[in-house]
C-alpha cells in the first residue's frame, strides 16, 4: 500500500514511521489471521507484497535478527488469498480510510463506536502514555526541568562541604590519616546498603505524599541535623563532659570528641544517601522517557552550581562576614543546611509525582526485612537490563579512582602549599601549624572551585556537541501539540553536533583524561600546576555525573513505559520487572562497593607513607591519587563495550511497535476531526 500525501513541513519522518509501524503490525497479524480462521477472505488493507515494500527500510531497526522478510517467507499466503484481497482493498486508500479500516476490521484492534470521537481519543491517549496519567510523557519545559532537579543542587552543596572540609576538620580533631581513611568508609558502606534499601522501600511506598517525597524530606531533615551536630561536636561534647568536671584538653575528652564526630559522619553519610536515592528516582519518575538524557544533563548542571556555591563559600573567610559563627566549618554547615532545606522544598512543592495509590499494591509477601532486601538485591542483579549491567561494570572500576580524588584533592593541594613553609620553619608551634593548615585548606578549596567551574562549563556546553543516542521520540500527543518546526537557533545548534561524538564515546575519553591527570600528580609540585590539573579533572567529573545516569534512565524509563502499557492492556501474566528505585540502588552499589576497596587501599598507603603532621616531604596523597588512575584505565576499556542505543527485549520491541501504531491511529483521527486534509 502506498499512501500519497502532499509535501508539508508537518509530515515529519516520525509521522511516516508511525504509519509504517501500522503496516508492519498488519502484516504480522494478517498472516496470523489467515492461518487461524476458516474464513476464505481475511480483512485487508493492502497486499503482503506492498506491506513488505513499505516496511523494508525498517527491517534492521524493528525486526531484529529475524527480519521481516524471513517472517514473510514463513507465513506467505496463497495466490488465491492475494487475489481476493486485491478485489477487497482499494489500491491507494486515503489516510482516513485506512484509519477506519484499521479501527473497524483489524484483528489487532478492538472495535468501538466511531461516532464517540472524544471518548476514543481519551482512550487512545491513555494507551499511548501507558498510564492513565499520560501527561507525564508530554514534553516538559526547561523551567520544569530546573524545578525537578534543583533539589540535587542543595544536596550537592552539603556533600561539597563534607568533601572539601571534612578531611581537614577530622585531622584538626587529632585523628591520624590512616584512621581518617577508615572513617570515610561510611560513605561507600551507606551507599552499598542504604540506597538499594531506600530504593526498594520507595518503589513499594503508597503514601499520599508520593513514592519518593517522604524519603527526600526525612532524609534532608536527618542530613541537616547531622551537619549541625558535626559542626558543634567540640562544644557539645566538651561542654557536656565539662559539667562533670572533665578538662576539655584531657586526652579522654579529645578521644570522646573524635568518637562522637565519627558517629555524626556515619549519620551524615547515611542521610545523604537516603536523600540521593529519593531524588534520583524522583527525577527518573517525573521526567518523560524521551527527555531522560536532558533531565540528567540538567541535573549535572545543577550539581555543578551546587559545587561552585559550596567551594566559593569554602574559599571565603566566612567568620569575617558571619561573626556569630566563629569557625569556617560551622558557617559552611549552616549555609549547606539552609540550601538543602530550601531546594528540597521547592522540588517537592512544585513537581507532582504520579499518585502511587493508583498503582498496583506491592505483593503481600513483600516485606521490608533485611533477608527480603538481600534476596531482592540478589535477584535484581541477575536480571539487570543489559545496558545497565555494562554501566555498573564501568562504574565499579571508575569509582576506585574517583573516590580518592573527591576526598583527597584539596588535601593534596594543601600539602603542596605547606611544604615550603615547613622546610623553612620545621619547628612551628601548634597554633602556627593550625593557621598554616587552615590557609592550605582554603587554597585546596580554591582548586576544587576551579574544578567545579570546569565541570559546570562542560555540562552546559558539551551536550550541544554530543550526538543524541539515548533520547527516545516524544509521545504522539506531544508531537501533535508541539508541531514540528525549525527555528534559526535549532538549525544552528544542529550544526554544532559532532556525529561521531556519542555520549558513550565522550564518557570513554573522560576516563582517559582522568587517568592521565592522576598519573601527573606524582610529578607536579607547584600550586598553579596542581590547580590546573584538578581543574581538567572537572571535565571527567561532568561526564561521570551525566553519562551513566542518562544511559540507565533511558533504558529504565523505556522499559517502565512498556510495563505500564502492558498492565493497561491486561497483561496480568507478564514477568516481574524491577522498578526505578531498585535499579538505581543497584547502580549506586556499583559506585559504593569499589569505594570500600579504595578506602582500604588508601588506608594501607597512608599507614606506610604518612609522616607526622607538620613534617615536610609527605607525598602520600599523590601516590593514592595515581593509584586510582590505574583502575580508571580498566573502566575506559569496559566503556567501549557499551552500545550507543537502548537495548529492549524482543517482546519490548513488539510492544513499542504496537504503541507507535496506536499513536498513528490517534493522530490520524484527531487530524480528521480538526478538518485537516491529508
Helix (H, G, I), strand (E, B) or coil at 175: coil
Do 195 and 72 fall within a single domain?
Answer: no
Query: Mean pLDDT, to the nearest integer, of 197-210?
Result: 83
Identify the domain containing residue 93 by its residue range: 13-111+658-671
| pLDDT for residue 562 is more than 80 | no
Residue-wise pLDDT for 10-24, tens only, equals 444 555 555 565 666
Q: Which of 352, 399, 361, 28 is nearest to 187 (CA)?
A: 399
| pLDDT for residue 350 is more than 70 | yes
Q: Which of 443, 370, 412 is nearest to 605 (CA)?
A: 412
Do 82 and 138 fall within a single domain?
Answer: no
Q: CB atoms < 10 A from the CB of 369, how many?
A: 8
Query: Mean pLDDT, to the nearest integer, of 108-132?
Result: 41
Query: How far is the CA of 590 from the CAs of 163, 360, 403, in angstroms?
Result: 20, 29, 13
Contact between 452 and 311 under an 8 Å Cβ cutoff? The reply is yes
Cα–Cα distance measured from residue 39 to residue 35, given in angstroms and rounded to the nearest whole number: 10
Query: Mean pLDDT, to the nearest integer, of 375-380?
Result: 80
Identify whether 653 is part of a domain. no
**pLDDT-derived band at 211, boundaries 50, 70, 90:** confident
Contact between 77 and 46 under an 8 Å Cβ cutoff? The reply is no
| pLDDT for residue 489 is more than 80 | no
| pLDDT for residue 621 is more than 80 | yes
Identify whether 356 is part of a domain. yes
Q: Which of 124, 106, 93 is nearest to 678 (CA)?
A: 93
**pLDDT-derived band at 509, boundaries 50, 70, 90:** very high
Do 444 and 326 fall within a single domain?
Answer: yes
Query: Mean pLDDT, to the nearest integer, of 90-99?
Result: 41
What is the structure's pLDDT at 339?
95
Do 23 and 142 fall within a single domain?
Answer: no
**pLDDT-derived band at 416, boundaries 50, 70, 90:** very high
Cα–Cα distance measured from residue 114 to residue 103, given in angstroms and rounded to the nearest whole number: 8
**pLDDT-derived band at 676, boundaries 50, 70, 90:** very low
Query: Mean pLDDT, to the nearest integer, of 89-95?
Result: 42
Contact between 147 and 351 under an 8 Å Cβ cutoff? The reply is yes
Query: Mean pLDDT, to the nearest integer, of 463-470?
Result: 75
Between 313 and 78, name the one with better pLDDT. 313
Do 50 and 160 fall within a single domain?
Answer: no
Average pLDDT, the chain: 74
Number of H helices, E strands in the chain: 25, 2
**pLDDT-derived band at 523, boundaries 50, 70, 90:** very high
Identify whether 224 is part of a domain. yes
Query: Mean pLDDT, to the nearest integer, of 514-540?
Result: 94
Task: Among 259-263, 329-333, 462-466, name the one with the lowest average pLDDT.
Answer: 462-466
What is the structure's pLDDT at 633?
95
CA torsion sign for 88, 91, 95, 96 is: negative
Cα–Cα distance measured from residue 676 to residue 671, given in angstroms and rounded to the nearest whole number: 5
Identify whether 546 is part of a domain. yes
Cα–Cα distance measured from residue 206 to residue 216, given in angstroms and rounded to the nearest whole number: 15
Do 60 and 177 fall within a single domain?
Answer: no
What is the structure's pLDDT at 130?
42
Cα–Cα distance measured from residue 525 to residue 516, given in angstroms and rounded to the nearest whole number: 16
In sequence order, what DSSP letters do the residues of 266-322 get, joined into one string? HHHHHHHHHHHHHHHHHHHHHS-GGGHHHHHHHHHHHHHHHHHHHHHHHHS-GGGT-
Angle between helices 186-203 and 370-382 (to 10 degrees): 90
What is the structure's pLDDT at 534?
94
Query: Mean pLDDT, to the nearest integer, of 275-304?
Result: 85
Residue-wise pLDDT for 536-558, tens only, equals 999 999 999 888 988 888 777 77
The 3-class SS string of 568-580 reads HCCCCCCCCCCCH
The count of domains in the chain is 2
Helix (H, G, I), strand (E, B) or coil at 263: helix
Do 183 and 88 fall within a single domain?
Answer: no
Residue-wise pLDDT for 224-260, tens only, equals 999 999 999 999 998 898 888 888 788 888 899 999 9
Identify whether 427 is part of a domain. yes
Identify whether 484 is part of a domain. no
What is the structure's pLDDT at 192?
79
Between 518 and 3, name the one with better pLDDT. 518
Angle between helices 251-286 and 233-242 (to 10 degrees): 140
Do 82 and 161 fall within a single domain?
Answer: no
Helix (H, G, I), strand (E, B) or coil at 499: strand
| pLDDT for residue 68 is more than 90 | no
Cα–Cα distance measured from residue 191 to residue 592, given in angstroms and rounded to the nearest whole number: 5
What is the structure's pLDDT at 179?
83
Do 187 and 98 fall within a single domain?
Answer: no
Between 136 and 624, name the one with better pLDDT. 624
Between 28 and 514, name the one with better pLDDT. 514
Cα–Cα distance measured from residue 364 to residue 578, given in angstroms and rounded to the nearest whole number: 17
Identify whether 237 is part of a domain. yes
Query: Mean pLDDT, to the nearest integer, of 110-126?
Result: 42
**pLDDT-derived band at 127, boundaries 50, 70, 90:** very low
What is the structure's pLDDT at 75?
44
Do 205 and 246 fall within a single domain?
Answer: yes
Query: How far is the CA of 113 from the CAs of 110, 117, 655, in angstroms?
Result: 10, 8, 25
What is the structure's pLDDT at 15?
52
- Which three three-digit cell numbers place residue 292? 531522560
pTM recorded for the entire structure: 0.61
Cα–Cα distance measured from residue 251 to residue 192, given in angstroms and rounded to the nearest whole number: 34
Residue-wise pLDDT for 469-483, tens only, equals 655 444 333 433 444
Which ranges of 106-204 does DSSP label H, i.e. alpha helix?
117-129, 142-172, 177-183, 186-203
Buried b (16+ CB within 10 A) or exposed e, 271-281: bbbbbbbbbbb
Q: Which of 156, 149, 133, 159 is nearest to 282 (CA)?
A: 149
Residue 441 CA, chain-centre distance (Å), reads 31
Do 55 and 181 fall within a single domain?
Answer: no
Identify the helix (H) or strand (E) that includes residue 348: helix 328-350
In sequence order, what DSSP letters do the residues of 592-621 get, joined into one string? HHHHHHHHHHHHHHHHHH---TT-S---HH
Identify whether 67 is part of a domain. yes
Do 632 and 497 fall within a single domain?
Answer: yes
Task: Among 110-114, 134-138, 595-599, name the one with the lowest average pLDDT.
Answer: 110-114
- Which three three-digit cell numbers place residue 594? 569499589
- Non-local CB neighbours of 131 within 8 Å, separated by 6+ positions: 137, 354, 561, 564, 568
- Which three three-digit cell numbers place residue 553? 534512565
Cα–Cα distance measured from residue 519 to residue 270, given in angstroms and rounded to the nearest whole number: 32
In sequence order, what DSSP letters do the residues of 502-542 get, joined into one string? EHHHHHHHHHHHHHHHHHHTTT--SHHHHHHHHHHHHHHHH
CATH code of the domain covering residue 525: 1.20.1250.20
| pLDDT for residue 517 is more than 90 | yes
CA angle 164, 168, 171 (to 5 degrees): 150
The torsion angles phi and psi of 614, rounded to 5 degrees, stand at: 95, 0
Amino acid at each position: 500500500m502506498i499512501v500519497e500525501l502532499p509535501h508539508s513541513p508537518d509530515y515529519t519522518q516520525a509521522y511516516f514511521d508511525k504509519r509504517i509501524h501500522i503496516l508492519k503490525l498488519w502484516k504480522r497479524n494478517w498472516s496470523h489471521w489467515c492461518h487461524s480462521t476458516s474464513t476464505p477472505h481475511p480483512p485487508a488493507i493492502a497486499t503482503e507484497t506492498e506491506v513488505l515494500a513499505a516496511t523494508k527500510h525498517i527491517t534492521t531497526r524493528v525486526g531484529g535478527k529475524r527480519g521481516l522478510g524471513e517472517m514473510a517467507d514463513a507465513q506467505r499466503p496463497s495466490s488465491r488469498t492475494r487475489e481476493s484481497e486485491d478485489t477487497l482493498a482499494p489500491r491507494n486508500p486515503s489516510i482516513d480510510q485506512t484509519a477506519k479500516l484499521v479501527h473497524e476490521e483489524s484483528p489487532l484492534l478492538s472495535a468501538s463506536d466511531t461516532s464517540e470521537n472524544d471518548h476514543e481519543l481519551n482512550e487512545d491517549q491513555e494507551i499511548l502514555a501507558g498510564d492513565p496519567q499520560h501527561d507525564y510523557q508530554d514534553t516538559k519545559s526547561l523551567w520544569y526541568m530546573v524545578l525537578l532537579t534543583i533539589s540535587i543542587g542543595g544536596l550537592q552543596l552539603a556533600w561539597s562541604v563534607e568533601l572539601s572540609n571534612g578531611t581537614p576538620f577530622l585531622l584538626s580533631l587529632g585523628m591520624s590519616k590512616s584512621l581518617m581513611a577508615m572513617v570515610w568508609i561510611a560513605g561507600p558502606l551507606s551507599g552499598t546498603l542504604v540506597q538499594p534499601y531506600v530504593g526498594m522501600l520507595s518503589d513499594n511506598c503508597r503514601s499520599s505524599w508520593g513514592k519518593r517525597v517522604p524519603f527526600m524530606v526525612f532524609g534532608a531533615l536527618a542530613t541537616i541535623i547531622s551537619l549541625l551536630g558535626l559542626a558543634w561536636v567540640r562544644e557539645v561534647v566538651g561542654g557536656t563532659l565539662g559539667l562533670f568536671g572533665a578538662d576539655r584538653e584531657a586526652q579522654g575528652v579529645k578521644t570522646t570528641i573524635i568518637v562522637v564526630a565519627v558517629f555524626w559522619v556515619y549519620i551524615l553519610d547515611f542521610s545523604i544517601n537516603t536523600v540521593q536515592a529519593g531524588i534520583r528516582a524522583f527525577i527518573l519518575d517525573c521526567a518523560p522517557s524521551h527527555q531522560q538524557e536532558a533531565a540528567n544533563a540538567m541535573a549535572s548542571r545543577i550539581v555543578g552550581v551546587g559545587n561552585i556555591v559550596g567551594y566559593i563559600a569554602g574559599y571565603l573567610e566566612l567568620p569575617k562576614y558571619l561573626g556569630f559563627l566563629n569557625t569556617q566549618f560551622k558557617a559552611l554547615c549552616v549555609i549547606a543546611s539552609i540550601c538543602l532545606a530550601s531546594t528540597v522544598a521547592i522540588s517537592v512543592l512544585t513537581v507532582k509525582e504520579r499518585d502511587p495509590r493508583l498503582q498496583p499494591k506491592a505483593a503481600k509477601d513483600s516485606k521490608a526485612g533485611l533477608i527480603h532486601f538481600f534476596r531482592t538485591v540478589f535477584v535484581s542483579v541477575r536480571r539487570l537490563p543489559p545496558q545497565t549491567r555494562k554501566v555498573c561494570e564501568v562504574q565499579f572500576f571508575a569509582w576506585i579512582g574517583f573516590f580518592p580524588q573527591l576526598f583527597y584533592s584539596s588535601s593534596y593541594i594543601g600539602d603542596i602549599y605547606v611544604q615550603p613553609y615547613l622546610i623553612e620553619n620545621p619547628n612551628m608551634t601548634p597554633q602556627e601549624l593550625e593557621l598554616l593548615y587552615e590557609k592550605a585548606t582554603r587554597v585546596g578549596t580554591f582548586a576544587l572551585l576551579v574544578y567545579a567551574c570546569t565541570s559546570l562549563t562542560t555540562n552546559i556546553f558539551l551536550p550541544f556537541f554530543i550526538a543524541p543516542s539515548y533520547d527516545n521520540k516524544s509521545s504522539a500527543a506531544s508531537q501533535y501539540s508541539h508541531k514540528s518546526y525549525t527555528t534559526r537557533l535549532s538549525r544552528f545548534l544542529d550544526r554544532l553536533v559532532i556525529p561521531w561524538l556519542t555520549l558513550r564515546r565522550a564518557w570513554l575519553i573522560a576516563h582517559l583524561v582522568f587517568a592521565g591527570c592522576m598519573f601527573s600528580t606524582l610529578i607536579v609540585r607547584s600550586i598553579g600546576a596542581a590547580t590546573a590539573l584538578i581543574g581538567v579533572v572537572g571535565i571527567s567529573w561532568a561526564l561521570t555525573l551525566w553519562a551513566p545516569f542518562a544511559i540507565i534512565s533511558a533504558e529504565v524509563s523505556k522499559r517502565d513505559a512498556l510495563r505500564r502499557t502492558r498492565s493497561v492492556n491486561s497483561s496480568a501474566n507478564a514477568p516481574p520487572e524491577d522498578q526505578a528505585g531498585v535499579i538505581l540502588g543497584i547502580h549506586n552499589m556499583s559506585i559504593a562497593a569499589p569505594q570500600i576497596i579504595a578506602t582500604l587501599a588508601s588506608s594501607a598507603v597512608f599507614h606506610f607513607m604518612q609522616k607526622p603532621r607538620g613534617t615536610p616531604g609527605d607525598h602520600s596523597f599523590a601516590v593514592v591519587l595515581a593509584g586510582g588512575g590505574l583502575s580508571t584505565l580498566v573502566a575506559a576499556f569496559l566503556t567501549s563495550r557499551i552500545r550507543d542505543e537502548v537495548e529492549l527485549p524482543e517482546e519490548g520491541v513488539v510492544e513499542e511497535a504496537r504503541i507507535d501504531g496506536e499513536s498513528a491511529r490517534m493522530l490520524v483521527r484527531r487530524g480528521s476531526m480538526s478538518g485537516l486534509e491529508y
